Each structure stands twice: as C-alpha cells, then as structure tokens.
Structure 1
Amino acid sequence: MYPINLNLDGRPCLVIGGGTVAERKVKKLLEEGARVTVMSPHLTDELIKLREEGEIYWQNTYWNEGAFFRDTFTLVFCATNDASLNARAAKQARGKGSLVNVVSDVSLCDFVVPARVTRGDLLMTVSTGGSSPAFARVLKERIDEEYGDVYGAWLDRLQVIRAEVKEKKGSAEDRNRFWRTALSEHVLELVENGSLEEAEGEVRDAADQFGIES
C-alpha cells in the first residue's frame, strides 16, 4: 500500500455503523477536522452525545443498496457487525469515488489505518498492511515509550530554526550538510535528555559552521 498522510480538515467522511468500532473511527476523524456522517439506526452513548452536540451528522437508517449519499465522501468506513452488508456498502461507496475501509475484511480495503503516536506535529505510524494489527499495536507501544513529549517540543523549535535558515544565504549542499550535522546522534541525545536549549545551540552553531549566513 502507498503510505500517505491525508489532510481531512473540512472533508466529508462517512461511517456506516453505530457501535464501538464505529465510535473509535468517528472520534479519530473528528480529531482531524473531518465532517463526519454516521449511518445507523443505533448509536453508542458517546455517538448520541456527539450527535446532540452537533459534532456529527446522523442518518437514522441501516445502509441498503438504495441508500442516499448526500455527499461524495472522501473516506467511507464500513463498520457494522454484518460482513455481507459491509462488503456491499463498500462496493457502492467505491463506485461513487470514495476510498473505503472495511473493518471486517482487509482484502476489501482501499486503505488501512496505521497505529500511531503523536507528539504535537510529530506523527509516527506503524502498519502491517492489516496482516497483524496486534503486532502493530505492540510496536506502537514501544514507540510511545521511547519518544516522549520532548520530541514534539523539539520539533516546534526546529520549525522556527528552519524558517530562519530558509531566509539565509547558502547553497543547497550547505543546507544539506547543515541538517545532517544539526540532527546528529549527539543532538538527538541532548533532546532525549530534555536539554533542548543546548540542542538548539548546537544546531545554530552548525548553521554558522557551514556558512549559512544572513
């Protein structure tokens, strides 16, 4: 599968099903700013709350071959406990140009959702292509333990430095050498130990060393 980070801000997405699996999909989509429609006559308590708060659109019906999709959905999640229904819904949604995830059958998926760890703007994902979600979760837990919040804070500092460096003189080769040095094992060890000020100083010294000047 082709790895991609997709911007869902404001994009319409459909979740077919109203159980706990559907609830998890809905929450993740909302976190990414998607406009979420849920199609199911039955909802979990949390989904009912989201509906009452106006966070999701609700179609109070089971999916069927004549179901009316008022939007062309960017993503469709088929998350009912009926495998046959999921497969039929996936076929219809795909025919309308949507990318489809079928929670009960990876072979019917256009995409799978990786296990992920976030630290601010830093996103780290693990996927087994649906072969073993349990293994992906184990690896995710290891990443979660190894990379703490300090890495998100370090990325915030790097964004500032990168913007400053882009405004300075220097060749492409200078910049490449600068970033290789700026993100050396030594600097990353400082970050891991929480010494962000010292790490930032090392990066700024590297800019001077490679002739990237104002």
Structure 2
Amino acid sequence: MNLYPVMLNLEDRTCVIVGGGAVAARKVDHLLNAGAYVTVISPELHPTLITLARDNKITVKQVAYTSGMLADLKPTLVFAATDDKSANQQVVDEARSIGALVNASSEQGERDFINMATIQRGDITIALSTGSASPALVTHLQRQIDTFIGDEYVTLSTWMGQARPLVQAAIKSQSERAALWRRVLESSILDTLRQGEASTAQQLFDQIIHEALDHSV
C-alpha cells in the first residue's frame, strides 16, 4: 500500500478513540500535544485516561461503543483500539460513512492512515515509517537519527525561522534564497554551536544573512 506522508493540523479538532487501554493512552498523549479535542469511548479506562478525564483534558464516554455514536461527535480522526475485532470493524465502517479518517490498531486492522515514529527537537520533527513492514527497523533508524540531531539544530532552526520573513521580503528569487540557506548550512555554524560557542555562531549567521541582503539591494 502506497501512503501519502503528511502532517495534520489538529488544533481544536475532534478526535475519537474507541478503546480505553494502553494503546489508547499512548495515542491520547500525542493528540493532546497536537491541540486536539479528544473523546474516549470505553467502559474500562487505563489509569492515565482516568487522570486526564479527572483533569478535564479529555472527554470520556464510559460505555461500550455502539453504532451511531460517532456521528454526533463529527470527528476528524477516529482510532479503533479495542481488543474486539468485530467492534473495531464497526468503528471503521461508521467512521468512513461519516467521512472521518480511521485507524484500526489491530495487526490486520483496516486503516486510512498510520502513525509514524517521530523524533522531536524543538520545531524540528522527523517522522519515520516502513509502511508497517518492519517496526523493528523503524526503532533502529530512530535511535540512529536521535544520536545525530542535537540541540545545535534546534538553535539554527530558530534563527532561520526568525530570519526567513526578512529574507523572503528582500530576496525575490527562489534560487537565490535557496543558495543563501545552503551557505548557512554549509558554513561552520553548526560545528561552532556544537563547541558551545553560541555567540560566535550567531555572529556568523548574522553576517551571512546581512551580506546576502546587502547584495540583493
């Protein structure tokens, strides 16, 4: 199955998880971090979910799922995470009937999307997937990349994000902007940051940016 990689904006959008076990608890954490409104439907709840419900961070319907429960919630994403294949299939069918994207957590479960393993460093997100072919390989790659991406990349990402509007406004040519960012990335800035010399790295970054802006005038 060929999947289209994408990052979703779930801010203030409703996501529903049918199931209340450890799998549901893990998914809730990521959904809340993305700013989603989360509703969990399950007669039994993992301790983490009980705590989140008590703190009013999620909505809980502590009953067994029955067909028709999703329609009123109008969810963007639905997760079928029960240990009952028949119930999961009911969730899948209803979710698709109302136009929601759905993921069934069981090994052979139907899914419109999969959750990718991620590495988060500040505003940098790296997502990995083998299309469910080898979770072990994903874990291995995650560890490899995790050791490579240090805090220096977070700092440089912040500086580049702050400078980007000014660069966009001053340098109209996309190819010239791309060349500028290559000069930044191929410079000694990252190495200087790794050595703990943030002030020197900042000066070098500012120098490269200002030279490019002066040249564009």
- Provide TM-score, normalisation by structure 2: 0.88
Choose which of 161, 164, 169 in structure 1 pairs with 2:163.
161
Which consecutive unaligned segments of at least 5 residues does structure 1 have? Answer: none
Choose which of 62, 65, 69 in structure 2 pairs with 1:63.
65
Give the RMSD, CA atoms, in angstroms.
Answer: 2.1
Q: Superposition pairs for residues 83-98 of structure 1, below 5 Å? A: 83-98=85-100
Q: Is the 8 A contact 2:80 2:105 kept in 1?
A: yes
Q: Is the 8 A contact 1:106 1:130 kept in 2?
A: no
Choose which of 135, 150, 154 in structure 1 pairs with 2:152.
150
Q: Is the 8 A contact 1:175 1:212 kept in 2?
A: no
Q: Is the 8 A contact 1:169 1:212 kept in 2?
A: no
Quote how far apart the aligned CAs of 1:151 are.
1.8
Quote how far apart the aligned CAs of 1:169 are.
4.8
Q: Is the 8 A contact 2:153 2:190 kept in 1?
A: no
Whether 2:51 is the aligned partner of 1:49: answer yes
Cross-structure match for 2:192: 190
Which consecutive unaligned segments of at least 5 residues does structure 2 have? Answer: none
Q: Is the 8 A contact 1:170 1:212 kept in 2?
A: no
2:57 maps to amino acid:
E
Distance 2:150 2:171 in 1: 34
Whether 2:11 is the aligned partner of 1:14: answer no
Quote how far apart the aligned CAs of 1:164 are.
2.8
Quote how far apart the aligned CAs of 1:9 are.
0.7
> What SS does structure 2 have at the residue aligned with 1:108?
coil
Distance 1:170 1:64 in 2: 56
1:143 maps to amino acid:
I
> What SS does structure 2 have at the residue aligned with 1:65?
coil
- Provide TM-score, normalisation by structure 1: 0.89
Cross-structure match for 1:109: 111
